[in-house]
Structure formats: C-alpha cells, structure tokens
Structure 1
Amino acid sequence: MLPDSAFRHPLAYARRMVLDCSQEELAALIRGVGQQRRVNIGTSKKTVSEWERGREPDETAQNLIAVIFKVSDEQRAGVPWPLWLPAGEFPELYQPWTPAGTVAGLDTVLRSGRMDRRRFLILSGVPLTNVLHDWLITEPDMAHAAAGEGRRISASMVNRIAGRITDLQRDDDTHGGGDLIFEVEALLSLVRHYLNKNSLDDAQHARLWGQAADLGRMAGWMKFDNGQHAAAQRHFTAALRAAHTSGDVLLGANVLAFAAVQHYSVGNPADADNMVRTAQTAVRGRSTPTVDAMLAARQARALAKAGDARACAHALNRAHDLLGQGPHDADPPWAYWVQRPEVDMLTGSCMLDLDRPADAQSHFTRADAAYGPEYVRTHVLYLSRMATAQLRQRDVEAACISTNQALDLATNVHSGRSSDHVRDAVKQLRPYRREPAVRDLLDRAKTVTT
C-alpha cells in the first residue's frame, strides 16, 4: 500500500530513521527531557500525531525536540520548523556530480537496496529541488572517466549487458518487478564493478554509465511498484547521476519521468510537475517528438492529480499532437513503450482523477484494445481503473466484469501496485454485495487477492 501521508512528514521520518521509536515513545522522551529541565509539558501520542500531520509545535516543544535529536541552537538558527530535523542517512545526496561521486552513490544505494523502507518518507520540497537543480546546471565530467584499474572489459560484454537490459525491460512489462529486482540489482552491481575496477575507453565508459542509469531506473521502478518508496527514490537518484555522467540528457529525462510517477502517486503532484518541467527544460532542442510526448503525458497526470483540469488538457493535447508526428530515427531504445495506447491509458487515468468517468472509460476501452497481451501488468492496472470508472457510472455489472478480468491476470504478475489496484477495485464493490454477481466476485477475490 502507499505510505500514509503522516509518514511523509520530516518529524515522522526522523522519529523512525533516527530514534526508531513510536509516537507514544517520542512523546515520553519529550516529557522526560522536560522534567529534567523543569519544563512542564504534556506531550502525548495525539500531540505527536498532530505535529506529523502539519501542526507546528510551540517554541518550548521545539526546544525539547531539538535536544532529543541533538540539533544545536546554531544548527537551528534561521531554519524554520521542520527543516532543521535530521533527514536520515542519505550520503549519496552529498556526493559530487562526478564519475567518482556517481560510483560512490551507486555503492551506497546497492548496499542499502535490500532494506524495506515502506513506511519511510521520500524526499520532496527543497532537498528534491536541489537535486534537480544540480542535475540541470552541472556539466558532465568525463575527463577522469578512464582512471579505472584492471583489465579491459570487452565490447562483447558491454553488448551482452545491453541485450539483457532490453530483455529485463520486456520481462517487467509482462511479469512485474517483484522477482526481477534481484537480477536487476545484480546486473547493476556488475556494471558498477566494471566502472570502478576496469580500464575503459571513453565510448565504453559512456555506454556503461548509460547502462547503470537504465538499470538504476528499472530498480527504482520495481521498488516503487512493490511499495518500497524510499528505496525506489534512492535508486532513481543514483540513476539520474549515472545518466548525467553518461552525458545522455534524454536518459536523465526518462529517469525523472518515472520518478515523477512515484511522486504524484504518493500525493506529491507539485513535485512531480517540477520534475517533469526540469526534464523538459533540459531536453529542449535536443529531444524527439516521442520523448516530448512522454514528458507531456507524465506532466498531464501530475496536473490531473493536482486538480488543474485546464493545464492537464493542454498537456494531453500536446502529447497526442507530438505522437502524431510519428517515430524518429533519433528515438532512444527505451522509448519503445511510448505509443498511442499508452497516452490513451494515461488520458483515461487523468479523466478519472478529474471525475469524468465516462471519458475515462472511453479512453481505457480504446487503449486496452490496442495493447498487446504481453503487457500484463498494464492490463491489470487499467482494468482495475476501468472498473472504477464503470462503478462511478452506476454500472455494477460492467465493473464486476472488468474486476474479474483483472483478477484473471493478476495471478500472472508480481507487482504490488497491481495487486493494490485490484484490491481497491474489489473493495469498492463491497457495498453492492447483495447483487449475485458482486457476491460471486467477492468470494472469488478471497482466494486470489490474499
């Protein structure tokens, strides 16, 4: 499931990451420090919960919180609540935008990649903006790229890695990333090893950096797809650095486009829009209609989540117009999925967010008919959303049919996000359990979705 909004507050994150304590335990710590300092304060679990949902503590409480987290007065000076709270250990964020810094960041992310941080905060606001700004303005540094030690890597090995990346991308479309993540991280570790230990020429280095970006992006997407949001963002950030070091700005834009999906999915549409706009700025004059269409469609989803119907419509129209220009020789290989059915699917999702279920159903129907059977996860996601659109139009029977079709496919894909969508589709039908078709569906769902 997606993280509760309370766990995206810096206090919740600091409490979990730094102290590893509950709201009640933090309240007790604050009362204890208050007693030591002869300050009468009645902080409770409810008080901490309110802080983590946006209410600002008074100055007395903030002073005690600073003591607990060992934040000095000097560190707090001029920094508003809650930005002075410790943000957890993300050393890769502070690495320089150089090849050595990128390798160090990959090392850190790979070491921490197996940790399940489902309940933890993802970066947003100022820290995220700083990452985007650094990516946008820092010139790629390849001058010291050939400083590796050891034997040369053969061109055939680089080609073999590229082929496996292509296979993994297609496998993810079909099976989801729940199991594939282990192979993706192993391959990313191999690429990192070659970058760190082998003597490479500039062309090989650029290709391997690009492969690290592709694999980091895939790992981030698979982590996100299975609810591991902080781990996903760390992979996306490492992928963005690798794309930057490769000198491939379009690849970096692709990383940001996938990271934007994560942000608008967990309730941060403004950050998602910022990410896409940054990507659009970076690729201007160097892109292709296909890549521009992909970015416009992603931006439309963020705008729909934000409730901006007019701007969303403009972005969708632009995406459809750009796709109408057809493919281009310079289209990157990773853009294979940017086709009319995908934009129709995204359009349907935008219409659903904007409470236009009839329009959503029309786009879902057209797109679903055009998608090939190999896109199993995509079919599961949009059949579930189709059911929502149908139910909002009071067509319970059609919603049951769509949900049953999603259940049929869900057993063939390992994707937490897909499973969550199916569960939500089933849940929304429960108020209609007196109808035979719904009753049968609910009985079936007990064995499929558990």
Structure 2
Amino acid sequence: MDVLIGHPLTYARDLHGWSQADLIARMRVAAASRPEGLRTGADKSAISRWENWRKTPSAESQLLIAEAFGVPLADLDLYPWPHWLPGRADPLPLGSAYTVRALREAQRASMERRNFMVFSAVALAGLSAQWATLEPDRLTSSLDGRPVDAELVDWLETTAAALTSLPTERRQHTVKLMDAHLDTVTDLLESGRYSQALGIRLHALGARLASTCGWYRFDQAKHHAAGVFWNAALTNAHAAGDRDMGAGVLADFAYQSIWVGRPNGAVDPLTNALTHTAHPAARSLLHLRRARADPGRRPGRPHPRRPDPPPRTAPA
C-alpha cells in the first residue's frame, strides 16, 4: 500500500526531495534576498503544524514558500493556500474532447507509485459546477477503425456487470480484469466507428467501469488514482447524458473528502449534484452525505473520520 501524503506542502517537498530542514533553509535564503527583511516564521514545529492542517502560514511565510519552490507570485492570488503549491492535481474539465483523455489519464494514474491525497476543494467545486450547468455535447462517430456492433457492446455490458457484482473479497483477483475491460472500452471510444446510440452506451459503460476501478483504488488507499478514475467516470457519464450516474460520482468525491478529514470540500459537489438528480435513492444518498459534510451541523457533532462504507456503484 502506498503511503498517503496528507498535505500539498508535504507532497511539494516530496517532489523536490526536500526535508523540512531543506525547506526552512530555502525560505531563509529567500527572506535574506528581499530588501524588506521578511521573517520566515518557519521552524520544524511550524512546518509540522502547516502540514497537519492545524495552522495556515502567514502571508509573509507563504510568499517565502512560493519563492523557495519557484512558484509565480501571481498564483498566490489565483489560488488559496495550499492549492497553489507545486504538484497541484486538477481534474480534467467536462466535454466530449476530454472523455477518452480522462480514461487514459486514469489508467496512467493507477500505475504511479506516488500518491497525493485528493483533488482540492477548489478544483472539485469547479468541476461540479460544470456538471451542474454544462449540457453534454452531441456524440459523433469516429471515422477511423472498424464499426462497433451492438452484439459486442452487449457482451461488454454483461461482462462488466458480472465483474462488478462479485463479492468484495474477490476483487483483489479481478482488478486486472476490470482494468483490461476498461482499456477495451476506451480503445473503442478512441478509434471505433459507432452510432450515436452505441456511443452513449459505450460512454455509460466506461463511466461505470471507471467508477468501480476508482473504488478499487480507494480501498487500497490510493486516493489520487481513485480521484482520477472518478474524474473519468464523471466526464463519460456527462457525455452519456446520465445525470443520476454523474451525481453518484460526485457523491463518491464527497465521500472521499469526508473520509480523509476534509469535509468542507464535499459541500459544493453535493449541492451541485442535487440540481439535476431525479432518482429518489440517488437524492437520498446525496442528502445523507451533505448532512455529514455540512459545516453548519449542530454544535458538538464532529465530522465522522471514517463514515460507513458506501455502495460500490451509483444507485440505478
């Protein structure tokens, strides 16, 4: 199991191969080079508090951190702390231009050894806002490759349903089969020639497979890979016009945020998911998770660090 990196500052240091002492030394160099003589406000204790979400560095400290990492100072105005740090992972936007790319990036992410925590609250809020307001593009058939026939899609759907329904304890043996199945669907979407109706079915199938593959990574504590798979699932559910499935994926993102102790990042995705969700079971799930995440909850009721396990597929 990969070690979960719980804060973007930890991740940024890891990308550069820096210890906390290395970061402090570089912040001091940055402070010494500035004519106003800024104080770093940094020691190992301070950095530990920043990386454990217990304290936010001052504006002066953030400026020196940015200079230490070589981050453009304009990024500090564009993104709140800590989302401007290097290594920031942003989900792909929705739209037909990104459906296959999102699936390919999910496959690459599942092979990476590094493991960042989750997409930022800012990124998830933007993605869920797109989902709530952006209408799906009309699907177009590829001009390359052999025609995709309905019988093949029938078999792919039946096989995917059988793999998804296997008991949890068997999934450690089926994860490679599920990944291969998703790779086949992605190949067909990328280079196959299919009708509008078959294209919708392929995108919906890709969304279901990516969602399940995301849960496999979540169960392995590979949270970055899980998020990239769910980004692919949301993009393809949107292309298929399946609002309820997309709402279920947004609920998965929210569940992950609550699980890793960042419940505020769950509120916007859940709120946006409710705008287009019609199925009663899906709406109930969204309301339940928003109640867990809502910072306006009753006093004395802490957020659950480990909520009850969710269903592995979105409600029908």
TM over 0.5: yes
For structure 2, the 5+ residue unaligned runs are 304-312
Aligned twin of 1:347: none
Aligned twin of 1:23: 20
Cα distance in 1 between the residues matched to 2:114 and 2:282: 32
* 1:124 partnered with 2:104: no
* 1:104 partnered with 2:98: no
Where do 1:29-428 residues align within 5 Å?
29-34=26-31, 41=40, 43-52=42-51, 53-77=53-77, 80-90=80-90, 93-95=91-93, 97-118=94-115, 120-143=116-139, 145-171=140-166, 173-175=167-169, 177-283=171-277, 287-302=278-293, 335=315
Cα distance in 2 between the residues matched to 1:44 and 1:194: 54
Rg larger for: 1
2:282 and 2:315 in contact (8 A); partners too: yes
Cα distance in 2 between the residues matched to 1:299 and 1:80: 23
Shift of 1:269: 2.7
Percentage of identical aligned residues? 31
Shift of 1:107: 1.5
Partner deviation per Cα, 1:350-376 (whole Å, 9 max, x = no partner): xxxxxxxxxxxxxxxxxxxxxxxxxxx
| More divergent stretch after superposition (52-61 vs 195-204) | 52-61
Shift of 1:161: 1.1
Shift of 1:101: 1.4
Cα distance change of structure 1 residues 261 and 21 upon mapping to structure 2, 3 Å threshold: same
Question: 4+ runs of 1 displaced by more than 6 Å?
Answer: 1-4
State which of 10, 13, 32 in structure 1 corresponds to 2:11: 13
- Letter paired with 1:125: A
Partner deviation per Cα, 1:166-197 (whole Å, 9 max, x = no partner): 112211x4326434322222211111110000
Partner deviation per Cα, 1:324-353 (whole Å, 9 max, x = no partner): xxxxxxxxx9637xxxxxxxxxxxxxxxxx
Cα distance change of structure 1 residues 275 and 21 upon mapping to structure 2, 3 Å threshold: same
TM-score by length of 2: 0.82
2:2 and 2:113 in contact (8 A); partners too: no
- Letter paired with 2:210: G
Shift of 1:130: 0.3
Partner deviation per Cα, 1:50-75 (whole Å, 9 max, x = no partner): 22234333444333222222222344
Cα distance change of structure 1 residues 14 and 151 upon mapping to structure 2, 3 Å threshold: same
Shift of 1:253: 1.3
- Letter paired with 2:46: T
1:210 and 1:242 in contact (8 A); partners too: yes
Cα distance in 2 between the residues matched to 1:62 and 1:232: 30
- Letter paired with 1:136: A
Cα distance in 2 between the residues matched to 1:105 and 1:30: 37
Cα distance in 2 between the residues matched to 1:3 and 1:291: 32
Cα distance in 1 between the residues matched to 2:231 and 2:180: 18
Cα distance change of structure 1 residues 3 and 253 upon mapping to structure 2, 3 Å threshold: farther
Aligned partner of residue 172 in structure 2, secondary structure: coil
Cα distance change of structure 1 residues 261 and 185 upon mapping to structure 2, 3 Å threshold: same
Between the two structures, name the one with larger relative contact order (CA 8 Å, sep ≥ 6): 2
Cα distance in 2 between the residues matched to 1:115 and 1:148: 33
Cα distance in 2 between the residues matched to 1:113 and 1:9: 20
Count of residue pairs brought into register by the alignment: 303
The alignment yields a C-alpha RMSD, in angstroms, of 3.2
Shift of 1:240: 0.5
Higher helix share: 1
Shift of 1:85: 2.4
1:31 and 1:42 in contact (8 A); partners too: no
Cα distance change of structure 1 residues 294 and 57 upon mapping to structure 2, 3 Å threshold: closer
TM-score by length of 1: 0.60
Cα distance change of structure 1 residues 168 and 79 upon mapping to structure 2, 3 Å threshold: closer
Cα distance in 1 between the residues matched to 2:79 and 2:249: 31
Cα distance in 1 between the residues matched to 2:111 and 2:67: 32
Cα distance in 2 between the residues matched to 1:174 and 1:80: 39
- Letter paired with 1:47: A
Cα distance change of structure 1 residues 303 and 2 upon mapping to structure 2, 3 Å threshold: farther
Cα distance in 2 between the residues matched to 1:228 and 1:115: 10
Cα distance change of structure 1 residues 205 and 276 upon mapping to structure 2, 3 Å threshold: same
Cα distance change of structure 1 residues 273 and 72 upon mapping to structure 2, 3 Å threshold: closer
